Amino acid sequence: MISVAIDGPSGAGKSTVARRAAEALGYIYVDTGALYRSIGLFALLAGADCKNEDHLRKILPIIKLELKFVEGEQRVLLNGKDVSEDIRTPEASMAASDVSALPLVREYLLDLQRNMALSNNVIMDGRDIGTVILPEATVKIFLTASAEARAMRRYSELLAKNPSVTYEEVLNDINRRDEQDSGRSIAPLKPAKDAVILDSTMRNLDETVSLVIRTVCEKLSTLKE
Protein backbone atom coordinates (compact mmCIF):
# COMPACT_ATOMS: atom_id res chain seq x y z
CA MET A 1 0.00 0.00 0.00
CA ILE A 2 1.08 3.58 -0.68
CA SER A 3 0.85 6.09 2.15
CA VAL A 4 1.33 9.84 1.82
CA ALA A 5 1.80 11.87 5.00
CA ILE A 6 1.05 15.59 4.82
CA ASP A 7 1.89 17.54 7.95
CA GLY A 8 1.88 21.25 8.64
CA PRO A 9 0.55 24.05 10.83
CA SER A 10 -3.06 25.11 11.29
CA GLY A 11 -4.52 26.90 8.29
CA ALA A 12 -1.91 25.69 5.81
CA GLY A 13 -4.65 24.15 3.69
CA LYS A 14 -3.64 20.56 4.39
CA SER A 15 -7.16 19.17 4.45
CA THR A 16 -8.35 20.74 1.21
CA VAL A 17 -5.10 20.04 -0.62
CA ALA A 18 -4.89 16.46 0.66
CA ARG A 19 -8.52 15.76 -0.23
CA ARG A 20 -8.14 17.03 -3.79
CA ALA A 21 -4.82 15.28 -4.29
CA ALA A 22 -6.30 12.01 -3.02
CA GLU A 23 -9.23 12.34 -5.40
CA ALA A 24 -6.88 12.95 -8.34
CA LEU A 25 -4.67 9.99 -7.43
CA GLY A 26 -7.50 7.63 -6.53
CA TYR A 27 -6.42 7.32 -2.89
CA ILE A 28 -8.44 7.43 0.32
CA TYR A 29 -8.21 10.76 2.13
CA VAL A 30 -7.89 10.64 5.93
CA ASP A 31 -8.18 13.90 7.91
CA THR A 32 -6.71 12.94 11.29
CA GLY A 33 -7.25 16.42 12.67
CA ALA A 34 -10.99 15.80 12.43
CA LEU A 35 -10.60 12.98 14.95
CA TYR A 36 -8.91 15.24 17.51
CA ARG A 37 -11.42 17.98 16.81
CA SER A 38 -14.25 15.53 17.49
CA ILE A 39 -12.80 14.53 20.83
CA GLY A 40 -12.24 18.19 21.67
CA LEU A 41 -15.82 19.01 20.71
CA PHE A 42 -17.18 16.19 22.85
CA ALA A 43 -15.07 17.38 25.79
CA LEU A 44 -16.35 20.94 25.40
CA LEU A 45 -19.97 19.80 25.27
CA ALA A 46 -19.40 17.59 28.32
CA GLY A 47 -17.91 20.49 30.27
CA ALA A 48 -14.57 18.70 30.61
CA ASP A 49 -11.21 20.42 30.85
CA CYS A 50 -9.53 19.68 27.52
CA LYS A 51 -6.10 19.95 29.13
CA ASN A 52 -6.87 17.58 32.00
CA GLU A 53 -5.98 13.95 31.29
CA ASP A 54 -8.11 12.68 34.19
CA HIS A 55 -11.17 14.37 32.67
CA LEU A 56 -10.44 12.87 29.26
CA ARG A 57 -9.85 9.43 30.78
CA LYS A 58 -13.44 9.50 32.03
CA ILE A 59 -15.04 10.45 28.72
CA LEU A 60 -12.95 8.54 26.16
CA PRO A 61 -14.70 5.20 26.90
CA ILE A 62 -18.04 6.70 25.86
CA ILE A 63 -16.74 8.23 22.63
CA LYS A 64 -17.22 6.31 19.39
CA LEU A 65 -15.60 7.77 16.30
CA GLU A 66 -16.23 6.64 12.74
CA LEU A 67 -14.96 7.91 9.41
CA LYS A 68 -17.36 7.51 6.51
CA PHE A 69 -16.56 8.26 2.90
CA VAL A 70 -19.54 9.64 1.00
CA GLU A 71 -18.88 10.23 -2.70
CA GLY A 72 -15.19 10.47 -1.89
CA GLU A 73 -15.70 12.97 0.92
CA GLN A 74 -14.79 12.13 4.49
CA ARG A 75 -17.53 12.56 7.07
CA VAL A 76 -16.92 12.24 10.79
CA LEU A 77 -19.45 10.54 13.04
CA LEU A 78 -19.26 11.20 16.77
CA ASN A 79 -21.41 8.67 18.60
CA GLY A 80 -23.46 8.26 15.45
CA LYS A 81 -23.91 11.99 14.73
CA ASP A 82 -22.29 13.67 11.75
CA VAL A 83 -20.18 16.48 13.24
CA SER A 84 -18.17 17.27 10.11
CA GLU A 85 -19.29 20.92 10.19
CA ASP A 86 -19.46 21.37 13.97
CA ILE A 87 -15.76 20.60 14.44
CA ARG A 88 -14.59 23.47 12.19
CA THR A 89 -15.11 26.31 14.67
CA PRO A 90 -12.21 28.18 16.34
CA GLU A 91 -13.32 26.72 19.68
CA ALA A 92 -13.12 23.17 18.36
CA SER A 93 -9.74 23.97 16.82
CA MET A 94 -8.25 25.09 20.14
CA ALA A 95 -9.87 22.15 21.94
CA ALA A 96 -8.27 19.82 19.38
CA SER A 97 -4.87 21.36 20.10
CA ASP A 98 -5.41 20.86 23.84
CA VAL A 99 -6.51 17.24 23.69
CA SER A 100 -3.89 16.30 21.11
CA ALA A 101 -1.19 17.23 23.62
CA LEU A 102 -2.38 14.46 25.97
CA PRO A 103 -0.63 11.06 25.60
CA LEU A 104 -3.85 9.28 26.55
CA VAL A 105 -5.74 10.76 23.61
CA ARG A 106 -2.93 10.18 21.12
CA GLU A 107 -2.70 6.54 22.16
CA TYR A 108 -6.48 6.20 21.88
CA LEU A 109 -6.37 7.26 18.21
CA LEU A 110 -3.07 5.69 17.15
CA ASP A 111 -4.32 2.27 16.03
CA LEU A 112 -7.39 3.75 14.33
CA GLN A 113 -5.18 5.95 12.17
CA ARG A 114 -2.55 3.32 11.39
CA ASN A 115 -5.09 0.66 10.47
CA MET A 116 -6.50 2.87 7.74
CA ALA A 117 -3.13 2.83 5.98
CA LEU A 118 -2.75 -0.94 6.17
CA SER A 119 -5.51 -1.77 3.71
CA ASN A 120 -5.78 1.36 1.53
CA ASN A 121 -3.63 3.72 -0.49
CA VAL A 122 -4.06 6.83 1.63
CA ILE A 123 -3.21 10.48 1.90
CA MET A 124 -3.30 11.32 5.59
CA ASP A 125 -2.89 14.83 6.91
CA GLY A 126 -2.23 16.11 10.39
CA ARG A 127 0.64 17.39 12.48
CA ASP A 128 2.65 14.27 13.28
CA ILE A 129 1.77 11.83 10.51
CA GLY A 130 5.26 11.53 9.09
CA THR A 131 6.99 11.64 12.48
CA VAL A 132 4.74 9.46 14.67
CA ILE A 133 1.66 7.97 13.04
CA LEU A 134 3.19 6.72 9.78
CA PRO A 135 6.98 7.04 10.23
CA GLU A 136 7.46 4.65 7.29
CA ALA A 137 5.14 6.57 4.95
CA THR A 138 5.98 6.24 1.27
CA VAL A 139 5.95 10.01 0.79
CA LYS A 140 6.25 12.69 3.48
CA ILE A 141 5.32 16.31 2.84
CA PHE A 142 5.38 19.28 5.21
CA LEU A 143 2.98 21.91 3.88
CA THR A 144 3.37 25.37 5.34
CA ALA A 145 2.66 29.06 4.67
CA SER A 146 3.14 32.34 6.49
CA ALA A 147 0.92 32.95 9.51
CA GLU A 148 -0.61 35.95 7.74
CA ALA A 149 -1.51 33.95 4.63
CA ARG A 150 -2.98 31.14 6.71
CA ALA A 151 -5.00 33.59 8.80
CA MET A 152 -6.44 35.27 5.71
CA ARG A 153 -7.51 31.92 4.25
CA ARG A 154 -9.14 30.84 7.50
CA TYR A 155 -10.76 34.27 7.94
CA SER A 156 -12.34 34.02 4.48
CA GLU A 157 -13.76 30.60 5.35
CA LEU A 158 -15.17 31.69 8.70
CA LEU A 159 -16.61 35.00 7.50
CA ALA A 160 -19.47 33.31 5.66
CA LYS A 161 -20.53 31.55 8.86
CA ASN A 162 -19.76 34.34 11.33
CA PRO A 163 -19.83 37.89 9.90
CA SER A 164 -18.56 39.31 13.21
CA VAL A 165 -15.25 37.46 13.09
CA THR A 166 -12.18 39.66 12.54
CA TYR A 167 -8.91 38.96 10.78
CA GLU A 168 -6.99 39.97 13.91
CA GLU A 169 -8.85 37.38 15.98
CA VAL A 170 -8.10 34.65 13.46
CA LEU A 171 -4.42 35.64 13.23
CA ASN A 172 -4.13 35.55 17.02
CA ASP A 173 -5.71 32.09 17.05
CA ILE A 174 -3.28 30.90 14.37
CA ASN A 175 -0.25 32.21 16.27
CA ARG A 176 -1.48 30.75 19.55
CA ARG A 177 -2.14 27.38 17.92
CA ASP A 178 1.31 27.40 16.29
CA GLU A 179 2.99 28.10 19.60
CA GLN A 180 1.03 25.41 21.39
CA ASP A 181 1.47 22.74 18.70
CA SER A 182 5.17 23.38 18.22
CA GLY A 183 5.99 23.65 21.90
CA ARG A 184 4.20 20.61 23.29
CA SER A 185 6.31 17.77 24.64
CA ILE A 186 4.25 15.01 23.01
CA ALA A 187 4.52 14.75 19.21
CA PRO A 188 5.32 18.42 18.59
CA LEU A 189 4.65 19.92 15.18
CA LYS A 190 7.81 19.61 13.09
CA PRO A 191 8.82 18.27 9.68
CA ALA A 192 10.01 14.68 9.45
CA LYS A 193 13.71 14.53 8.62
CA ASP A 194 12.94 13.08 5.18
CA ALA A 195 9.92 15.28 4.44
CA VAL A 196 9.68 17.52 1.39
CA ILE A 197 8.96 21.10 2.54
CA LEU A 198 6.34 22.87 0.41
CA ASP A 199 5.43 26.53 1.01
CA SER A 200 2.04 27.63 -0.29
CA THR A 201 2.24 31.28 0.78
CA MET A 202 2.48 32.56 -2.80
CA ARG A 203 0.51 29.74 -4.42
CA ASN A 204 -3.22 29.41 -4.90
CA LEU A 205 -5.12 26.21 -4.18
CA ASP A 206 -4.85 24.72 -7.66
CA GLU A 207 -1.11 25.40 -7.80
CA THR A 208 -0.57 23.84 -4.38
CA VAL A 209 -2.59 20.74 -5.25
CA SER A 210 -0.63 20.32 -8.48
CA LEU A 211 2.65 20.71 -6.59
CA VAL A 212 1.67 18.03 -4.06
CA ILE A 213 0.57 15.61 -6.79
CA ARG A 214 3.80 16.21 -8.70
CA THR A 215 5.84 15.64 -5.54
CA VAL A 216 4.07 12.35 -4.84
CA CYS A 217 4.47 11.11 -8.42
CA GLU A 218 8.16 12.06 -8.53
CA LYS A 219 8.80 10.22 -5.28
CA LEU A 220 6.97 7.10 -6.48
CA SER A 221 8.90 7.24 -9.74
CA THR A 222 12.25 7.24 -7.95
CA LEU A 223 11.15 4.27 -5.84
CA LYS A 224 10.45 2.24 -8.99
CA GLU A 225 13.90 2.88 -10.44
Q: Is the pLDDT of residue 2 over 70?
A: yes
Q: Is residue 86 part of a domain?
A: yes
What pLDDT was estimated at residue 72? 64
Q: Is the pLDDT of residue 143 over 90?
A: yes
Give the DSSP per-residue string, the chain: --EEEEE--TTS-HHHHHHHHHHHHTPEEEEHHHHHHHHHHHHHHHT--TT-HHHHHHHGGG--EEEEEETTEEEEEETTEE-TTGGGSHHHHHHHHHHHT-HHHHHHHHHHHHHHHHSS-EEEEESSIIIII-TT-SEEEEEE--HHHHHHHHHHHHHTT-TT--HHHHHHHHHHHHHHHHH-SSS-S---TTPEEEE-TT--HHHHHHHHHHHHHHHHHHHH-
What pLDDT was estimated at residue 11? 86
Range of the domain at 20: 3-217
Query: pLDDT digits over 98-121, tens only?
Result: 998 899 998 999 888 898 888 889
Query: pLDDT digits over 204-220, tens only?
Result: 999 999 999 999 999 99
Q: Is residue 222 part of a domain?
A: no
CATH of the domain at 110: 3.40.50.300
Q: Is the pLDDT of residue 74 over 80?
A: no
pTM, two decimals, is 0.78
What pLDDT was estimated at residue 131? 93
Q: Is residue 176 part of a domain?
A: yes
Question: For the chain, how many structural domains are there in total?
Answer: 1
Query: pLDDT digits over 9-57, tens only?
Result: 988 989 899 999 999 999 988 888 889 999 999 999 999 999 999 999 9
